[in-house]
Structure 1
Amino acid sequence: MKNIIYKIMLSIVLVLAIGCKEKPTNEVEGTHKTKNENIVELTEAQLAQTEISIGKVKKRKIGHEITVNGVIDVPPQNNISVTVPYGGFLKQTTMLSGTRLKKGQIIASVENPEFIEFQRAYLEALANNEYLKADFERQETLNKEEVTSTKVFQKAKSSYLTNKANIQALESKLRLIGINPLSVKNGKIASVINVYSPINGIVREVYINRGKYFNPQDVLMDITNASDLHVELKVYENDIHLIRVGQRIRFRLANAPDTWMEAKVFLIGNNVRNDRSITIHGHLKEENEALLPGMFINANIEVEAVEQYAIPEEAIVRFEGKHYIFTSLGKRKEGVQMMHDYEMLEIIKGNEEENFVAFTFEDPSQNVSKMDVVLKDAFTLLAKAKNSEEEGHGH
């Protein structure tokens, strides 16, 4: 009985073995033996409808960057607060925030009765000068001849020199408020003076309106010389040791995130604030009229540059929180059709620069130098791969 059971079992094993060996295959030359959800295939016709571009990945110098925030600023000497000595009433101004100015341009007219008093005192001092000078010279001659006392001579001399100093002081006052002493000498008395722009620049803010009285210490407006704008960045303590003069800064405005501009580190602060940060200043590579002092910016400071494999940003796709690229597996014939195969490989993104991204493979055994990579229109392949999954295909 045992022998019979043994023979039956042996027969079954042999039948199964022969069946497996002789089982016909449905695979044809050039098809995949196993299903792989990361493999995408396109026909010649499908490929012709895309903008897919294949190429080798090259090494580029990609800098390691620190991301920081800051503002557009100007050196203190390029910020001018316009004031008028002795104050007055603002008679006229056409200035608005953002108005561009040239040096010497009239920016306001100011009226003050005190200006008339200065001119009157100046003319009076000029009138006295001729008499006091003549009296001084006469007393000097008489004193030499011992006709008058030294005391009388010294008094005449003192009166003359005091009046002369008064004339010089009044001339300085007149020039300070913008009145030419020569015009006053010629009889032109002005109660209104013009205020001129001391620099080429931009009006940042106007603080006073027409007809309002202001004191000497009051600021009429702020003007900025925008020809020497720079970026002012805040770098925190952990990254301070990486900063060097001459390093490249890439920055963009908060309201224009796609437009990058460049600057270069020229000054590193040496005072650590309470929030454990220091200030970094960078010179602009190129002037840009769209930049204004006080604008908020996002910036990257390139602290080192390393040669790495880098790929165009558009060659990278994102799916379920991970990043991928596609490599070309070549083409094959399937029936009468020519098929093009691509494999989706997971990568780890590195630093970005000028629309190129440094990367490494999630699988360290992958060798990018031996691959042909999809450099353009990778999203088409991602869409094809995920559509195929939803339809139940393996590739």
Structure 2
Amino acid sequence: MKNLFQYIKGTFVLVLLALVVLACETKSKVEQEKHHVEENIVELTQAQFEQAKLRIGSIEKRIIGEELQVNGMIDVPPQSNISINMPYGGFIKFIDMLPGTSVKKGQLLAVIENPEFIQYQQDYLEGLANQEYLKAEFDRQKELYAEKVAAGKTFQQAKSIYLANEARIKTMKARLKMIGLNPTSIRNGKVSTSTNIYAPVSGYVREVYTNIGKFVNPQDVIMDITNADDLHVELTVYENEISGVKKGQRIRFSLANAPNQWREAEVFLVGRNVREDRSVTVHGHLKEKYEDLLPGMYVSARVETDSREVWAVPEQAVVRYGGKHFVFGYVEEHNIEGGEKTLTFEMLAIRTGNSEDGFTQIEFLDSTTEYKEVKLVTQGAFTLLAKAKNTEEEGEGHGH
């Protein structure tokens, strides 16, 4: 009987201890949940609200694209890189260009001097001088041959000399135009030992390969000019993602030195061959002209492969803490002692989706949340986050 009593007593003690432990754990969980709720609540006075320049708005439906993130560079097509040369060579008499110099179509680039230019002009003028006489002799022999007065051989000889001179005149005229000399001016007596080279397009000088006094051969490049009007985006897309890229899709891109400044382009050509690194080239036309873009610049780009209507908020309304994303919902407003207003905000956990044009797609982790009823902070969310977490840390500090 004594043993039975001791057994019951021991069991009672164990049960009592278990109830005490359970009660403590329950209390601890309640306190933790209460602390968790409180740490996500921020209260501001009206003065603090105005000083922080907070703004309250609503979640809205927006069309946001699903984007493919890729890299690339600014480039120009081959026909926009132009090499300037002189087909017949000569000495550089004048040049006033530096790499990066902006040029307009028709602007003087250089002056080339060559003594042979005089000979070319002389040959042309002599051909013109003989033209009238040879034409008259040809017409005379033609008439005599028709009247059977002159021999056919004499007529054919006159015809051959006349036509050969005409061909020579045309050839020399084409040569003078290629050099840059004006045949009409030469015919009027203006003979020159030099010729001007003008810009064939508007753009900028990429490189200069010569200087004043240097002789350039026909195959030598004097300078390179790039037509800036044909700049485009050249992107690298890998083969497992290329099926989603189509002509006409929107491209947003930024430069390495300005990652938050987005510019726009549009897909106009998708490559048809896969390179050794399993990538395909995609070309995009710029939506507008950007003066600061140069060929070879690295870009980070996003290709909009699809779009749909989603719930979205301004990007600055979303904050990140502890590896999670939140927005601050406006809970209530009430008066405290002295009649001063107090505004209450709560951190609401969300998932983020795609971002576009300063807006981010969101989804509340609490599936019961009514999106249309939520009022949230659209500007100044980081200020609230700092206040919420600083207050929490201060409270924990006092507890130690």
Pairwise TM-score range, normalised by the shorter structure? 0.7 to 0.9
Residue number in structure 1 paired with 2:376: 373
Question: How far does the alpha carbon of each residue in 1:233-273 deviate from its partner, in whole angstroms, 9 at most, with x for none?
Answer: 22211211111222111112222222211112222222222
Residue number in structure 2 paired with 1:264: 266
Whether the 8 Å contact between 1:38 and 1:345 is mirrored in structure 2 is: no
Residue number in structure 1 paired with 2:155: 153
Whether the 8 Å contact between 2:39 and 2:389 is mirrored in structure 1 is: no
Residue number in structure 2 paired with 1:215: 217
| Deviation of 1:295 (Å) | 2.6
Q: Compared with structure 1, are the counterparts of its residues 276 and 376 closer, same or farther at alpha carbon in structure 2 (3 Å cutoff)? A: same
Alpha-carbon separation, structure 2, partners of 1:378 and 1:230: 38
Question: How far does the alpha carbon of each residue in 1:47-82 deviate from its partner, in whole angstroms, 9 at most, with x for none?
Answer: 444223333211211111111222223344333222
Whether the 8 Å contact between 2:39 and 2:392 is mirrored in structure 1 is: no
How is 1:330-369 mapped onto 2 (pairs within 5 angstroms)? Answer: 330-331=332-333, 339-362=342-365, 364=367, 366-369=369-372
Q: Please tell me whether residue 281 in structure 1 is matched to residue 283 in structure 2.
A: yes
Whether the 8 Å contact between 2:252 and 2:262 is mirrored in structure 1 is: yes
Alpha-carbon separation, structure 2, partners of 1:56 and 1:103: 53
Alpha-carbon separation, structure 1, partners of 2:89 and 2:167: 24
Q: SS at the partner of 2:241?
A: helix
Counterpart amino acid of 2:59?
V
How is 1:96-107 mapped onto 2 (pairs within 5 angstroms)? Answer: 96-107=98-109
Residue number in structure 1 paired with 2:129: 127
Q: SS at the partner of 1:289?
A: coil
Q: SS at the partner of 1:34?
A: helix
Structure 2: runs of 5 or more not aligned = 24-31
Q: Please tell me whether residue 389 in structure 1 is matched to residue 392 in structure 2.
A: yes
Higher deviation after alignment, 93-102 or 126-135 = 126-135
Counterpart amino acid of 1:350?
G
Whether the 8 Å contact between 2:43 and 2:342 is mirrored in structure 1 is: yes
Alpha-carbon separation, structure 1, partners of 2:151 and 2:341: 126
Question: How far does the alpha carbon of each residue in 1:189-243 deviate from its partner, in whole angstroms, 9 at most, with x for none?
Answer: 2111001122233223222222222222222222233234322222211211111
Q: Compared with structure 1, are the counterparts of its residues 183 and 332 closer, same or farther at alpha carbon in structure 2 (3 Å cutoff)? A: closer
Residue number in structure 1 paired with 2:248: 246
Percent identity between the two aligned chains:
52
Whether the 8 Å contact between 1:136 and 1:157 is mirrored in structure 2 is: yes
Question: How far does the alpha carbon of each residue in 1:82-132 deviate from its partner, in whole angstroms, 9 at most, with x for none?
Answer: 222112121111122232222222111001122122112212222333443
Q: Compared with structure 1, are the counterparts of its residues 380 and 150 closer, same or farther at alpha carbon in structure 2 (3 Å cutoff)? A: same
Alpha-carbon separation, structure 2, partners of 1:69 and 1:185: 58
Whether the 8 Å contact between 1:39 and 1:341 is mirrored in structure 2 is: no
Question: How far does the alpha carbon of each residue in 1:131-152 deviate from its partner, in whole angstroms, 9 at most, with x for none?
Answer: 4334333433443344443223
How is 1:54-133 mapped onto 2 (pairs within 5 angstroms)? Answer: 54-133=56-135
| Deviation of 1:181 (Å) | 1.5
The number of equivalent residue pairs is 376
Q: SS at the partner of 2:240?
A: helix
Alpha-carbon separation, structure 2, partners of 1:212 and 1:188: 26
Counterpart amino acid of 2:241?
D
RMSD after superposition: 3.2
Q: Compared with structure 1, are the counterparts of its residues 122 and 347 closer, same or farther at alpha carbon in structure 2 (3 Å cutoff)? A: same
Counterpart amino acid of 2:361?
A
Whether the 8 Å contact between 1:310 and 1:356 is mirrored in structure 2 is: yes
Alpha-carbon separation, structure 2, partners of 1:356 and 1:60: 8
| Deviation of 1:362 (Å) | 4.4
Residue number in structure 2 paired with 1:39: 40
| Deviation of 1:333 (Å) | 6.8
Higher deviation after alignment, 282-291 or 186-195 = 282-291
How is 1:268-347 mapped onto 2 (pairs within 5 angstroms)? Answer: 268-331=270-333, 339-347=342-350
Residue number in structure 1 paired with 2:28: none
Structure 1: runs of 5 or more not aligned = 21-31
Counterpart amino acid of 1:60?
R
The answer to which structure has the higher helix fraction is 2
TM-score relative to the length of structure 2? 0.83
Alpha-carbon separation, structure 1, partners of 2:195 and 2:50: 76
